[in-house]
Amino acid sequence: MKSFVRFLCFASFGICTFYSVLEPTNPCRLGFGLLFGIIFGWLFKLFLNGFLGLFNPKIKKEHGKSVIKNATDTSMGFMLPFVFMLLIATFYLNWSHTSAFISAGIMAVGTASAIEIGKLIGKSSIKITIVTSAVCLLFSFTWILSTAFLIKVPPFIEGGAGIIKTLLSKGGVG
């Protein structure tokens, strides 16, 4: 269930980022956004787990390997309000620049992860807060920068698919 929440949040992030009011049902844009969001979410979780594990070997020893994974999975739920607001902004208010919602959502996961780990060690730790915030900040920036370039990809895919389709329908080159 918790993994599904992460999947849902990042899938929504991707779809909303690549959605265009001018082509609301463009399958290429929506599909690419969905795929990008899912891959990004998976990478984000992988990095967050990795860094938290790296800085908390004691917790892993005491509570088992899955404890960090559970903590990050729980913290991913913090993105839900941001996803809800992003959906309102994209589909109800028709905003096109919604990266603030996504970066704030990713940063909220950092706060939540630090709280979850703090619960395990019995106190809030500045070190953990810095680590989770740094990882989230990195991913937040990566999302903003990468989507600024990747937004051009779906039209290229569409164009390429169109050329192939034309070639096939006309019996190939030459």
Partner 1 sequence: MEKTKPSMLKTIFGMMINPSGILKSAMLNTKWYFSLIVSALAFGLFFLQTGLDLYKTGQKGVDFLLLSAGVGVLYGALLIPLLGFLVAVILKLSKTDKKIGQIISLFCLSYSGALIYGTLGIAFSLGLGWKTSIAFGVSGILWAIGPTIVTIREMTGGKNAMSIPIATIISGAILVSWSIFGNL
- In the complex with partner 1, the residue whose CB is nearer, 112 or 131, is 112
Residue 95: alpha-carbon gap to chain centroid: 19
Structure tokens at 6: 């992460």
Q: How far is the CB of 114 from partner 1 (least distance, A)?
A: 8
**Nearer to partner 1 (CB atom), residue 1 or residue 22:** 1
CB closer to partner 1, 15 vs 107: 107
From the list 95, 81, 56, 66, the residue with the least C-alpha distance to 3 is: 66
Residue 59 Cα distances to 38, 45, 66, 113, 130, angstroms: 28, 18, 10, 14, 17
> Minimum distance from CB of 165 to partner 1 (Å)?
40
What's the min distance (Å) between Cβ of 65 and partner 1?
23
User: Which residues would be at the binding site for partner 1 (CB under 8 A)?
Assistant: 74, 77-78, 80-82, 84-85, 88-89, 92-93, 95, 97, 100-101, 104, 107-108, 111-112, 114-115, 118-119, 124, 129
| Rounded least distance, CB 88 to partner 1, Å | 6
- In angstroms, give the least distance from the CB of 135 to partner 1: 16
- For partner 1, give the closer residue by CB, 123 or 152: 123
Q: Which is nearer to partner 1, 20 or 111 (CB)?
A: 111
